[in-house]
Structure 1
Amino acid sequence: MRLSDQDAVIALWKAAGVYREWNDPVRDIEKALEGAHSTILVGELDGAIVASIMCGEDGHRGWFYYVSTHPEHQGKGLGKAISKAAEDWLRARGIWKVQLLVRSDNTQATSFYEAQGYKDTRSVCFQKVIDPV
């Protein structure tokens, strides 16, 4: 992703339903693109951004965020392709494990990831906001 793609990527996140009003997407994009340990990959079709994934790594685990495919293009393999590209990005950095969070009521996403070989770890995620926007 290039910074000039920001508006298109945020529009995709909103259309795909991965945007949440309590997250600042501009801040998330800037942070993801500022260093070598994270990136945002995009998939384009006829010049339009139709898929994206934010990925990062901490030296041990990789993480996926904002995994999205435009609703008009879901079911065409784009989500699988962008996830594979992010796995390859992590693998090239020596990362052998990737994790992601799925809201418990998102059965469509759960089914998608299970079909890709992801397993529910039955873990509980805790969060604390230490620097509110």
Structure 2
Amino acid sequence: MIREALIADAGAVIALWHACGLTRPWNDPAQDFARALAGETSTVLLAEGEGGVAGSVMIGDDGHRGWVYYLAVAESARRTGLGRQLMAAAEDWLRARGCPKIQLMVRDTNAEALGFYAALGLEPQGVVTLGRFLKD
């Protein structure tokens, strides 16, 4: 069953993100999790398995597009369809809010993730993502 995460789920979800190699030193996953749950236009969905959190996805509606972050499936739950279920739940959540399009970013070196998303019908968008860190 997929449900919206609670603050009490933070430790288990963040541990999964770390185990799946989704975190980076410049992103604070605890802060990302807390902000997603605190916002009216974002959340974290999770799926529980026998050993605890088996998968999760963070989603948000920026008012123009729906975004997907931190899609993670525990090693023991891979190749079971859980990733597809989480993406379907994310799409349903965004669709219910009127998002016309779903977007996500994948590192160009992550061939496994790129293959997964391609199998779901997501395509490269022909844009370049630019960014910089905001300083206090």
Alignment TM-score > 0.5, same fold: yes
Give the alignment's Cα RMSD to 1 decimal.
1.1
2:85 to 81, 86, 96: 81
- Consecutive unaligned residues of structure 2, counting only runs of 5 or more, are none
My pick for the range that moved more, 16-25 or 92-101, is: 16-25
2:19 to 15, 18, 23: 15
Q: What is the deviation of 1:122?
A: 2.4
Aligned amino acid, residue 11 of structure 2: D
Number of matched residues?
Answer: 132
1:97 to 101, 104, 114: 101
Q: What is the deviation of 1:16?
A: 1.2
Counterpart residue number, 1:69: 73
Percentage of matched positions with identical amino acids? 45
Q: What is the deviation of 1:131?
A: 4.0
Alpha-carbon distance in structure 1 between the residues aligned to 2:21 and 2:28: 15
- Consecutive unaligned residues of structure 1, counting only runs of 5 or more, are none
Q: What is the deviation of 1:71?
A: 1.3
- 4+ residue runs over 2 A deviation: none
Aligned amino acid, residue 131 of structure 2: Q
Q: What is the deviation of 1:46?
A: 2.4
Counterpart residue number, 2:28: 24
Structure 2 length as normaliser, TM-score?
A: 0.93
Q: What is the deviation of 1:47?
A: 6.0
